């Protein structure tokens, strides 16, 4: 299975797996074995439904082999001359081996598809209880781009996070937040953009009403620049203003601050409530979160409002650290923060690493992301926490909610439904394309991980996802994040004051289901572009 070993020498190998684990991987990656498609020198195969050769049999047999050196291994690419059919055969076997819902994939003839189309066929067609597709996270990415590296938190942009409120005409695009002034390019600083600014035009194109693809492309390019030095002109309307103004922005390599706000606010009965705005679970978050918790601890906070509304996930270990810092040792000692569950062919062994499946525990010490490893983490020792969420609250960010609930910490949810991504990947390169196909589900200490429709405040209308006590509240762009008058924070404070008889604001309608098929399709229509541009466009 040496071909398999080479094919897995992608970025996972560099960042996750030691070489020894790769060797172990080779020993366990086989599927059904025997029979099935057999590659010939001409690339022909005999497809036998329900019979699968090991994916290693087809790995690195490429219609267009790469030449040169793989930067992640320092060795020559393993690619050999093959065919589109070989690549499809590999996808078919790999999916059968590792895809979480492999037994829900229709076994269709690999000779009848292009490789991109065949990959799209290699997923479940089942739906969740809400009617949304069960698998909304099935991607490919050019390996050369996927393997690119960056300094933690550094990406091209203006230092401005735009939020798409309404994706179709009449569109609504607002400024959600900006990075700290010291991290902003000069032109962004001079623009005086603030949270709540409405973007009306990008480079002269009407953001609100434009409907043709050329205009949409211009909007995309202007809102999410791809190259440092790019300049674009935006027409914006400030909150409360009636006359738009024009600002010129120039993109740069921006360093994001993951914990953008940490403060205290006055809570129920004059108590001191901590507030953390946590936007990005990147490596630098570890030391920033420690500082934030240390500070809140020194101020003897009795409650915490954790604002995850723009937090799309990231390092799971950092999520575990934060959950521990909130709950403290009494509730978490030796407990599972999250356990990976693979498909039923691998009940005890991680099929990618070859190692026994073991849970990510609540980490009580630093893990060495940006703080020195092995240091005791500070704790707030809270029995309850209010979490502010929105449709961008996703993946490892949702793990914080689920992990805390798993050890009995009471979580109140204020805002809108989360994205619903209890799943994860081991991205895999083959022939220059990196495939993201769901391979595991994360469950908490109680074994729960079925939140494919997200978590949502209990009074959400219409009901969506897993209900959590709390209030459905729209994002309030008229107040700064961290302002106790901001709608979601105000609702969180009110809820904490009296959860038994909590009075939520009248729930908004239409914000509960960010992950619905229709909304996602609309977003993709509006922001249709190459995979690379898709990544750039709504980047915050």
Residues 341-380 that bind other proteins (CB under 8 A): 366-375
At its nearest, how many Å lie between other proteins and the CB of residue 16? Answer: 4
Residue from 69, 81, 112, 358 binding other proteins (CB under 8 A)? 69
Q: Kindly state the tokens that stand for 180.
A: 């700290």
330-333 contact pairs (CB < 8 A, 24+): 330/381, 331/383, 331/407, 331/408, 331/409, 332/362, 332/364, 332/407, 333/362, 333/364
**Under 8 Å between Cβ of 313 and 396:** yes
Answer positive or negative: Cα dihedral of 333, 335, 338, 343: positive
* Alpha carbons 255 and 152: distance in angstroms, whole number: 8
Site for other proteins contains 151 (CB under 8 A): yes
State in angstroms the smallest separation of the CB of 313 from other proteins. Answer: 3
Q: Report how far residue 238's alpha carbon sits from residue 242's, in angstroms, rounded to the nearest whole number.
A: 8
CA atoms within 13 A on the CB side of 247: 24
Using the minimum distance from each CB to other proteins, give the nearer residue, 53 or 236.
236
> For residue 238, what are the CA distances in angstroms to 140, 231, 480?
38, 21, 13
**Region at 159 (left for phi over 0; alpha for psi -120 to 50; beta for the rest):** left
**Sole binder of other proteins in the list 485, 503, 509, 518 (CB under 8 A):** 485
Site size toward other proteins (CB under 8 A) is 104
Q: Is 495 in the site for other proteins (CB under 8 A)?
A: no
The residue among 169 and 180 lying less far from other proteins, judged by its C-beta, is: 180
Q: Is the Cα torsion angle 284, 289, 292, 297 positive or negative in sign?
A: negative
Q: Which is nearer to other proteins, 110 or 351 (by Cβ)?
A: 351
Residue 386 binds other proteins, judged by CB under 8 A: no
CA distance 537 to 540: 9
CA dist 291 and 278 (Å) reads 13
Task: Enter the tokens of residue 22.
Answer: 């790769």
Q: Which of residues 300-329 bind other proteins (CB under 8 A)?
A: 312-317
32, 38, 147, 244: which one binds other proteins (CB under 8 A): 147
Q: Which stretch binds other proteins (CB under 8 A): 83-91, 278-286, 298-306, 320-328?
A: 278-286
- Name the one range near other proteins by CB under 8 A: 57-65, 79-87, 142-150, 448-456: 142-150
Q: Is 117 helix (H, G, I), strand (E, B) or coil?
A: helix
> Nearest approach, Cβ of 102 to other proteins (angstroms)?
19
Q: Is 99 helix (H, G, I), strand (E, B) or coil?
A: coil
- Residue 195 in the binding site for other proteins (CB under 8 A): yes
Binding residue (CB under 8 A) for other proteins from 118, 146, 324, 435 = 146
Q: Which stretch binds other proteins (CB under 8 A): 106-114, 141-149, 329-337, 497-505?
A: 141-149
SS3 letters for 258-309? CEEEEEEEECHHHCEEEEEEECCECCCHHHHHHHHHHHHHHCCCCEEEEECC
Residues linked to residue 233 through DSSP beta bridges, in sequence order: 248
10 Å Cβ neighbour count for 458? 17
Nearer CB in complex with other proteins: 49/116: 116
CB 109 to other proteins: min, Å? 29
Distance separating alpha carbons of residues 382 and 301, to the nearest angstrom? 9
Query: Could you tell me the smallest distance in angstroms from the CB atom of residue 104 to other proteins?
Result: 21
- Contacting residue, 79, 303, 392, 429, with other proteins by CB under 8 A: 392
Q: Give residues 417-436 in contact with other proteins (rule: CB under 8 A).
A: 419, 421, 423-427, 436
Min dist CB 478 to other proteins, Å, is 6
Name which of residues 29 to 68 contact other proteins (CB under 8 A).
Answer: none
Nearest to 253 by CA among 152, 172, 170: 152
Pick between residue 50 and residue 240 the one whose CB is nearest to other proteins. Answer: 240
The secondary structure of 54-89, three-state, reads: CHHHCCCEECCCCCCEECCCCEECCCEECCHHHHHH
Tokens of 440: 């595991």
Q: Which of 87, 107, 155, 235 binds other proteins (CB under 8 A)?
A: 155
Asked if 398 and 454 count as a contact pair (C-beta separation under 8 A), the reply is yes
Shortest distance, CB of residue 454 to other proteins, whole angstroms? 12
Q: Which of 18, 27, 33, 71 binds other proteins (CB under 8 A)?
A: 71
**80 belongs to the binding site for other proteins (CB under 8 A):** no
Q: Cβ closer to other proteins: 86 or 430?
A: 430
Candidate residues 115, 284, 343, 379; the one interacting with other proteins per rule CB under 8 A:
284
Q: Do residues 388 and 309 lie in contact, with contact meaning Cβ atoms separated by under 8 Å?
A: yes
By CB under 8 A, residue 293 contacts other proteins: no
Question: Looking at 28, 108, 357, 480, which residue binds other proteins (CB under 8 A)?
Answer: 480
54 versus 258: smaller Cβ distance to other proteins: 258
Within 231-260, the residues that bind other proteins by CB under 8 A are 239-240, 252-255, 257, 259-260
One of 95, 332, 397, 413 touching other proteins (CB under 8 A)? 397
Nearer to other proteins, 89 or 486 (CB): 486
Nearer to other proteins, 126 or 294 (CB): 294
């Amino acid at each position: 299975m040496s071909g398999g070993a080479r094919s897995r020498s992608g970025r996972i190998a560099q960042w996750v797996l030691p070489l020894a684990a790769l060797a172990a991987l080779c020993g366990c990656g086989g599927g059904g074995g025997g029979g099935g498609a057999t590659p010939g020198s001409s690339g022909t195969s005999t497809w036998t439904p329900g019979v699968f050769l090991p994916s290693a049999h087809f790995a690195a047999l490429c219609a267009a082999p790469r030449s040169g050196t793989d930067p992640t291994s320092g060795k020559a690419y393993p690619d050999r001359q093959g065919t589109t059919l070989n690549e499809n055969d590999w996808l078919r076997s790999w999916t059968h081996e590792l895809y979480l819902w492999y037994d829900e994939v229709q076994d269709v003839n690999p000779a009848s598809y292009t490789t991109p189309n065949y990959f799209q066929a290699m997923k479940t067609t089942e739906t969740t209880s809400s009617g949304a597709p069960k698998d909304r996270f099935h991607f490919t990415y050019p390996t050369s781009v996927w393997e690119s590296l960056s300094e933690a938190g550094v990406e091209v942009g203006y230092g401005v996070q735009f939020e798409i409120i309404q994706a179709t005409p009449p569109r609504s695009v607002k400024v959600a937040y900006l990075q700290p002034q010291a991290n902003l390019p000069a032109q962004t600083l001079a623009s005086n953009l603030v949270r709540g600014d409405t973007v009306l035009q990008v480079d002269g194109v009407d953001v609100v009403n434009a409907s043709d693809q050329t205009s949409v492309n211009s909007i995309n390019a202007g809102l999410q620049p791809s190259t440092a030095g790019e300049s674009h002109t935006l027409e914006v309307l400030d909150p409360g203003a009636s006359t738009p103004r024009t600002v010129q922005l120039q993109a740069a390599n921006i360093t994001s601050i993951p914990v953008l706000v940490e403060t205290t606010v006055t809570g129920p009965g004059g108590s001191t409530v901590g507030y953390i705005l946590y936007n990005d679970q990147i490596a630098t978050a570890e030391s920033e979160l420690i500082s934030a918790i240390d500070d809140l601890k020194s101020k003897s906070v009795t409650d915490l409002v954790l604002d995850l509304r723009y937090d799309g996930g990231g390092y799971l270990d950092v999520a575990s650290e934060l959950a521990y810092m909130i709950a403290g040792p009494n509730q978490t000692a030796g407990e599972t923060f999250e356990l990976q569950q693979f498909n039923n062919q691998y009940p005890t062994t991680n099929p990618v690493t070859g190692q026994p499946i073991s849970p990510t525990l609540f980490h009580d010490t630093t893990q060495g992301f940006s703080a020195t490893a092995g240091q005791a983490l500070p704790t707030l020792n809270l029995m309850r926490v209010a979490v502010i969420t929105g449709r961008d609250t996703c993946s490892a960010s949702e793990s914080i909610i689920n992990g805390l609930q798993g050890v009995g910490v009471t979580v109140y949810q204020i805002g809108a439904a989360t994205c619903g991504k209890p799943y994860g990947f081991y991205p895999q390169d083959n022939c220059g394309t990196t495939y993201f196909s769901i391979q595991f589900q994360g469950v908490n200490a109680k074994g729960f991980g079925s939140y494919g429709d997200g978590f949502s405040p209990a009074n959400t209308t219409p009901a969506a996802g897993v209900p959590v006590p709390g209030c459905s509240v729209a994002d309030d762009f008229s107040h700064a994040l961290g302002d106790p008058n901001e709608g979601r924070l105000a609702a969180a404070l009110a809820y904490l004051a009296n959860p038994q008889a909590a009075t939520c604001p009248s729930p908004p309608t239409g914000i509960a289901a960010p992950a619905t098929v229709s909304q996602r399709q609309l977003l993709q229509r509006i922001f249709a572009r190459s995979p690379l541009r898709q990544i750039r466009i709504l980047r915050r």
